[in-house]
Structure 1
């Protein structure tokens, strides 16, 4: 249960930072921001694990960059 709460809080922080550093306005609600942060962390974890069997935690900076990439992809696909 504590892992879920930690994922929500860290997802919110990562998502808010990604929205802050992304150039231009990013319009989304709190739940979308949390999911953006969690998604950015997952993408950063997959990239930084480099194919190893273990899933390592990515750093905060890598998670924010992963979330910014998700915003960019969403804009390119016309989702945001």
Structure 2
């Protein structure tokens, strides 16, 4: 929430990228969009069950598919 505030955007229009179920749960709790990457030892199913809209192999894979996760007003 602090980062969104500092950037001057609403948290509901923000994307939280994380590699753990805790990151996805935190994104849900603050009403942000959660996107997972498979670098933290959690699997795709675990991240999706924790609330990830999408899960990518790594940051490079996320970058290739950034249009899929753009926050919408």
* TM value normalised by structure 1: 0.25
**When you count strand as a share of all residues, which structure comes out higher?**
2
Larger-gyration structure (1/2): 1
Higher RCO structure (Cα 8 Å, ≥6 apart): 1
